[in-house]
Amino acid sequence: MALGELERAVMEVLWAAPAARTARDVQDALAERDLATTTVLTVLGRLERKGLVARERDGRAHRYHAAGTREDHIAALMRDALDGAPDRGAVLARFLGAMPPDEQAALRDLLR
């Protein structure tokens, strides 16, 4: 599932964090955007409903962490794109044809 710009920015904060973060931590990490705490909480709630974020109670607050890795998310996006294609083979052929030779070789190695 594709993410909006703000959702992606919040996920980048969570993916980069070594541990779960509070909404305030996320807000501070995105200080250049001048976001209200309620906005950050709304985005975190949306991401939680999408299954991308999990939260845990920490006293009166919650701490949030990514439910999966960035690579998990990107792989899911690729699967979604392929699932929407009427001719998966053609899409895969174009995707592979656009890859540099070293990435093609790495993919061949992974498939072995």
3-state helix, strand, coil in the chain (%, to 5): 60, 10, 25
| Stated pTM of the model | 0.84
CB 66 within 8 A of CB 52: yes
- Report helix angle 5-16 to 37-49, nearest 10: 80
Over residues 7-33, mean pLDDT: 97
Regarding whether 20 and 59 lie in a shared domain, the answer is yes
Helix-helix angle 70-83:88-97, to 10 degrees: 130
Q: What is the pLDDT of residue 70?
A: 96
- Tell me the average pLDDT of the chain: 95
Angle at 73 between CA 17 and CA 84, to 5 degrees: 165
pLDDT value, residue 3: 94
**pLDDT tens profile 57-109:** 999 999 999 999 999 999 999 999 999 999 999 999 999 999 999 999 999 99
For residues 52 and 17, membership in a common domain is answered with: yes
Residues 33 and 84 in one domain: no
pLDDT of residue 1 exceeding 80, the answer is no
Residue-number span of the structural domain to which 106 is assigned = 70-111
